[in-house]
């Protein structure tokens, strides 16, 4: 399912914004379900947003209304726009790809993962 590389993480203050990018080196990107996940210290990995090949999206309640997932199939790139960031959004963020028919936040669906990019939100 190709290689994935995240970028765009960094340190911001509460209320700030960041946009994460995930470049996918795979000619089948357009057919994949893509997702963003995060792993915070002391917590389990959380699925926060997914987007299917038609552009249909799903969000976790924790980020709904603040984060936006999108994809550009011409550029083989996935995005996560994050606004109104909170301290609790601090985590390592990962993008992942799934060839399955079902597209959701279930981690078991995703077979290819990036190395992650760190987001730190401070007050």
- What residues are paired with 11 via a beta bridge? 120
pLDDT of residue 2: 64
Provide the pLDDT for residue 51. Answer: 97
pLDDT tens string 37-49? 999 999 999 999 9
Q: Per residue in 8-67, pLDDT tens?
A: 999 999 999 999 999 999 878 888 999 999 999 999 999 999 999 999 999 999 999 999
Distance (Å, whole) CA 107 – CA 87: 24
As a whole-number percent, the residues of the chain with pLDDT over 70 amount to: 98
Smallest CA-to-CA distance from 67 within 52, 43, 47, 96 is with 47
What's the pLDDT score for residue 36?
Answer: 98
Q: Are strands 91-98 and 67-72 parallel, antiparallel or unpaired?
A: unpaired
Q: What b/e readout covers 49-76, taking b as 16+ CB neighbours within 10 angstroms?
A: bbbbeeeeebbbeebeeebbbebeeeeb
């Amino acid at each position: 399912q190709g290689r994935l590389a995240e970028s765009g993480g960094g340190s911001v203050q509460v209320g700030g914004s960041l946009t994460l990018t995930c470049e996918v080196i795979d000619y089948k990107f357009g057919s994949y379900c893509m997702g963003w996940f995060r792993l915070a210290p002391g917590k389990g990995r959380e699925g926060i947003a997914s987007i299917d090949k038609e552009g249909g999206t799903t969000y976790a309640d924790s980020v709904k209304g603040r984060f936006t997932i999108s994809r550009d199939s011409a550029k083989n790139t996935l995005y996560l726009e994050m606004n109104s960031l909170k301290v609790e959004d601090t985590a390592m963020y990962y993008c992942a790809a799934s060839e399955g028919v079902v597209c959701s936040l279930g981690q078991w669906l995703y077979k290819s993962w990036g190395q992650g990019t760190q987001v730190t939100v401070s007050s």
